[in-house]
Amino acid sequence: MRGLPWHWNARLAGHPWPTRERAPRWLHARDAFVLLLPLFGAFIARWPVHYPPPVGFWQGLVLQCVLLPTLFIIQFAHPGWRALGFTTRGMVQSLLLGALYCLIYILLLLVSSRYGLHTPHFDEARRFLGTPLVLALYFPFWGLLESVWMAYAIAAFHGWLSPRGDQVRWRDVIAAGVWFGILHALVQVILYRAPFLPSLSYVLVGVLMVVAGSIRKATRNAWGMVLFWCVTNF
């Protein structure tokens, strides 16, 4: 069959009608909706509601809650949990690699703390609310839910940019990371009303998603990425 045209090869292979797989021109509407959820959350969270202190923490929680439709779309529609890498196959390797990434991250934090560097992500919330309450809200929303959204983003870009293969490619992970960084910059402008130019530095947050996504790519499993994000995002 080697010298025959591609459509005859398809017919002889048993396909009812010859088809040539092509990359879709646009993202599926469902995927675009999920990818835009953080922006919807930013607009919803900035509504004139009297938030108790710390205001930024509660606004961020509202934004994270807007990501909840992602779970329903995964459960009741395509692509399903397996397509996102949430399977038992490769889970041990994924968790081990995620744990290694976490260890490296913690070591970097210890080294940077010696030079006076610090990440005050939830410091204000811990002072107002206490660490137990902050952790109780952090893990299900900023940890688990956001990392599931990240896995969906990688799968969405994979379906758009690399539809011919099951293996996630670097371009899928990088595209998702770039979008993640852009979203962080836009959230700073929309929700926290930060100046545009200084907010552009938040695009670099996408690098962390690329690092997390490398676990998904290397092991074909997303559980290690979830572990890494739950530890490093706090």
pLDDT computed for residue 224 by the predictor: 98
pLDDT computed for residue 34 by the predictor: 96
User: Would you place residue 78 in the very low, low, confident or very high pLDDT band (cuts 50, 70, 90)?
Assistant: low
For 129-168, the pLDDT digits (tens) are: 999 999 999 999 999 999 999 999 999 999 899 877 778 9
Whether the per-residue pLDDT at 228 is higher than 70: the answer is: yes
User: Would you place residue 112 in the very low, low, confident or very high pLDDT band (cuts 50, 70, 90)?
Assistant: confident
Of 15-19, 30-34, 115-119, 220-224, minimum mean pLDDT range = 15-19
Structural domain spans, the chain: 28-232
Whether the per-residue pLDDT at 202 is higher than 90: the answer is: yes
User: Would you place residue 123 in the very low, low, confident or very high pLDDT band (cuts 50, 70, 90)?
Assistant: confident
> pTM for the complete prediction?
0.86
DSSP the chain: -TTS-HHHHHHHTT-SS-------SS--HHHHHHHHHHHHHHHHHTSS--PPSSHHHHHHHHHHHTTTHHHHHHHHSSS-TGGGT-SSTTHHHHHHHHHHHHHHHHHHHHHHHHTT----SSHHHHHHH-HHHHHHHIIIIIIIIHHHHHHHHHHHHHHHH-TT-SS--HHHHHHHHHHHHHHHHHHHHHTS---HHHHGGGGGHHHHHHHHHHHHHHHS-SHHHHHHHHHHT-
Of 7-16, 38-47, 173-182, minimum mean pLDDT range = 7-16
pLDDT computed for residue 77 by the predictor: 76
pLDDT computed for residue 8 by the predictor: 35
pLDDT computed for residue 146 by the predictor: 97
pLDDT computed for residue 1 by the predictor: 41
Share of the chain above pLDDT 90, in %: 69
User: Would you place residue 114 in the very low, low, confident or very high pLDDT band (cuts 50, 70, 90)?
Assistant: confident
Whether the per-residue pLDDT at 218 is higher than 50: the answer is: yes
What mean pLDDT is reported for the chain?
A: 87
Of 12-16, 97-101, 160-164, minimum mean pLDDT range = 12-16
pLDDT computed for residue 32 by the predictor: 95
